[in-house]
Homo-oligomer: A and B are copies of this chain.
């Protein structure tokens, strides 16, 4: 017997009274993370017992079943199926930017309102947005929100491009497009989920309130790390593609698209960054070179270590933790590159490009700082150059600070959409927090439910005991 996966449309419930049809057992799968938004999703339990599906309810665009009951394999290349995947993952990357910019908008606005400490002489306290520690956690996330927006726009273009080529039966760029979207889905959703939580923590105790909007944003967003391809599994697919590309490059083939930099292997394997002052890191070419060198060297390093294993598959499995890191390095390079390319376009509005350039530098250099071990151990950056990058980051935070609120206002989210008392456009947070508190069901009565039945007998009894 031949086993395939095929799609069917099956009627589950009666159109008269909505009861399940004979042989169909179905129900909801159970409560999920968060205050409720995901509980209305139709993740369910479904079982069939002797249910016959008529032939014409099979999705037969590709494989088919004949009237005689014969399964006919599609002669359409498998690759065509990837087109839809590219589409779905492209929308997920766009959504990552949306969710992240929502969280960042709330955290930046509230950090400009909230004041704490910082005055020894009785003067007003300091806006928490002025603290370097707050900036160093928040501004890289602001930069990431913009970075994901731009890479999302580019992915939309890529999908169109892939589709046009598919229609012309040109499948040559499909593996690269597939690896690229899989990797971007993985990296942007993982980082966004973490970032929403970080934004929540950056709002202090008030971020823990449902009325901050952040807890539910996290609970609704974080499944993106698991659905449409678990993020670790997707990175391993990217890694597999990278290993293939390394061996093709070694065989003299010229890679295309986001992987084209690997063709520059001679230079990238031995180059050393020429950065000499902190400001040298403002040069996009200097950034691009080290991100390319890091990604390529990590991939080549993995390929060399795999080749020492008894078999290719054993080597791949043994080195999979390293391969994940190599895949992340490759994907981060793509995001940095697309941000840089975006800034080579015309961008209207006085000073806008300048602000975005600062965010681009922050995005790239915070990654360089976070993954400094990669850059140092692959030898493309020295410890001194790493310290210079860090020094520049501090300066860039100070430069972004005056425009931080404008940079989140630019997302143009309404208060209704943000759904956060902390992230209000008018900044009138505290009266709103107070008002929101009174809406708590526990506040419907002045004396809480249960006092008469449980608390009063307990209190009265204790009083009696203490009188003994």
Contact = CB atoms under 8 A, between A and B. Distances in A.
Interface residues of A, number: 81
Nearest to A397: B321
Contacts of A22: none
A231 B198 CA distance: 12
A223 interface: yes
A437 B30 contact: yes
Contact of A394 (B29, B32, B318, B379): B318
B29 A437 contact: yes
Contacts of A132: 317-321
A201 B215 contact: no
A19 B446 contact: yes
Interface in A314-345: 317-322, 324
B17 A447 contact: yes
A-side binding surface: helix, strand, loop or mixed?
helix
Contacts of A133: 232, 236, 320-321, 324
A401 to B, nearest CB: 13
B45 A437 contact: yes
Given A133-B236, A204-B226, A317-B132, A15 B373 contact: no
Interface string A17-35: 1111000000111111111
A375 B373 CA distance: 8
Contacts of A387: 377
Contact of A15 (B225, B230, B371, B459): B459
B440 A28 contact: yes
A436 interface: yes
A347 interface: no
A240 to B, nearest CB: 13
A308 to B, nearest CB: 11
Interface in A18-58: 18-20, 27-35, 38-39, 45
Interface of A: 13, 15, 17-20, 27-35, 38-39, 45, 131-133, 136-137, 197, 201, 204-205, 207-211, 215, 219, 222-223, 225-227, 230-232, 236, 317-322, 324, 369, 371-379, 383, 386-387, 390, 394, 434, 436-440, 442-443, 446-448, 451, 455-456, 459, 463
23 contacts: A15-B463, A18-B455, A27-B440, A28-B442, A28-B443, A30-B439, A31-B211, A31-B440, A32-B215, A39-B442, A132-B317, A132-B319, A132-B320, A133-B236, A136-B320, A204-B226, A204-B230, A205-B223, A205-B226, A208-B223, A369-B373, A372-B373, A377-B386
Given A31-B35, A133-B232, A205-B226, 6 more contacts: A30-B209, A32-B210, A35-B35, A131-B317, A137-B232, A204-B226
